[in-house]
A and B are shown apart, each in its own frame.
Chain A
Amino acid sequence: MPLNIRTYHELTEADRSGLAAQIDAQRRRVAARVATVGRVVAVMSGKGGVGKSFVTAGLARALARGGVATGVLDADLNGPTIPALLELARARCTVRPDGVEPAVNPDGVRCFSMALLLADGRPLGFRGPETESHVWRETLETAALREFLADVAWGPLDRLLVDLPPGVQRFQELVELLPAPPAVLTVTIPTAESRDAVRRAMHAAAARGAGLVGVIENMVGGPFAGDAGAALAAEFGVPLLARIPWHPAAETWRELALRV
């Protein structure tokens, strides 16, 4: 005689554990926090070393100087560099009833980063069993990203730039955490190798419903030859927002800020 076993969704009794409800509550906290943000803009690239963080910081400072309330969430948890690029002095992060205060740089850019929290020179380490850590580590990093979104008292912002690490995984996690897909700025260097890697990232972003704001070509005029920026912009039908030279002038950032 087979057992009559109701399935998961057929069990509707009250459940004190409420794991699904706890996840829902987490999502609501993220949604409530970003409700005061005009636009979340993910800065991404399929490739490392193209200068995403450099571009993010330069753009953020130019936006803030132009009167645009700007925040930067450093989503590169393992290699965070945004506080240094924003020239942020290290200080204690103030915990208030409504969340943790972001650091604010001299231009008024609000910022939160794992770099503000880690001991000098130490890598991001988590408590937990060392064996099979691949099973839980990415999940924990996603939780950290969720808390950076939900628990930092960002306040009203016109732009929240999210500086993503290389690849597309953190972007996928960001999309799952936010109530709506972010806008996406992609950064490339001129080379064909970069073009190919960034193309994959742009396809991944478009497939998740993200609006592609445009392409920024960085490190122009240096040792890297090619036209990756123009090629990607044409292929995806988006503007080439800037071609940033090795030593960009303040005007370069100002012009970029006007276009984002």
Chain B
Amino acid sequence: MKFLCVECDQQLTFEERRLPGDGTLAAAFRCPRCGRVIALLTNPMETQLVASLGVKIGGTTVPPQPLETVRGMVTTGRDEAFDDAARPDPAPAGPHWSAAAQERLARVPGFVRGMVKRIYLDYAKERGIAEITPAVMDTARSELGLEGM
């Protein structure tokens, strides 16, 4: 899937992704020559089909997690299926989790919680974020395309 600014004969470049939380996706693309921005809007079925391939429109900046698609998409997994403690912490000295962020993380199903925690830690570390808050989690979710996490 690529987008072309016909007038400029330039391939549009990915700018931003938004996941409103209703299964839809909005991705903005900009023409590098004229600056025009267009938005790709997908319905839940289209969003799901792309996610089912294990790819993300706009790409991602954090490394893929083991069994990321399975853990992110299976809804009938057992809470105690995985032990994520064996992986070294990417940032032992931080970042810090705010109380609200910890509360939100605790509500994530156990099947996927360890992986979600790791993704947010990788995201915060990569950007030098000192404290993970619900706002940081929301931004990361959109930037990384973590629908449902």
Which residue from B11, B69, B78 sits with its C-beta under 8 Å from A120?
B78
Tell me the minimal C-beta distance from B73 to chain A in angstroms.
Answer: 5
Could you jot down 28 A-B contacts, CB within 8 Å? A3-B6, A5-B4, A6-B9, A11-B4, A15-B13, A16-B59, A22-B56, A26-B54, A26-B55, A92-B82, A93-B82, A95-B83, A95-B115, A97-B87, A118-B76, A119-B76, A123-B76, A124-B74, A125-B76, A126-B73, A127-B73, A127-B74, A128-B44, A136-B49, A140-B69, A144-B70, A147-B66, A151-B67
Contact between A92 and B49, CB atoms less than 8 A apart:
no
Tell me the minimal C-beta distance from B57 to chain A in angstroms.
Answer: 5
CA distance A127 to B74 in the complex (A): 6
Contact between B86 and A95, CB atoms less than 8 A apart:
yes
Interface size class for chain B? 35 or more
Chain A residues, CB < 8 A from B54: 22, 26, 143, 146-147
CA distance A77 to B53 in the complex (A): 17
Which residue from A92, A129, A135, A151 sits with its C-beta under 8 Å from B23?
A129
The chain B residues found within 8 Å of chain A, CB to CB, are: 1-2, 4, 6, 9-11, 13-14, 23, 44-45, 48-49, 51-59, 64, 66-70, 72-84, 86-88, 111, 114-115, 148
Chain A residues, CB < 8 A from B69: 140, 143-144, 147
CA distance A136 to B115 in the complex (A): 23
Contact between B74 and A16, CB atoms less than 8 A apart:
no
CA distance A250 to B78 in the complex (A): 34
Chain B residues, CB < 8 A from A167: none
Contact between B148 and A92, CB atoms less than 8 A apart:
no
Which residue from B14, B53, B80, B86 sits with its C-beta under 8 Å from A15?
B14
Chain B residues, CB < 8 A from A131: 45
Contact between B77 and A16, CB atoms less than 8 A apart:
no
Identify which of residues 81-129 in chain A touch chain B, using a CB-to-CB cut-off of 8 Å: 92-97, 99-100, 116-120, 122-129
Question: Given the interface contacts A95-B87, A99-B66, A140-B52, does A125 sit within 8 Å of B75 by beta carbon?
Answer: yes
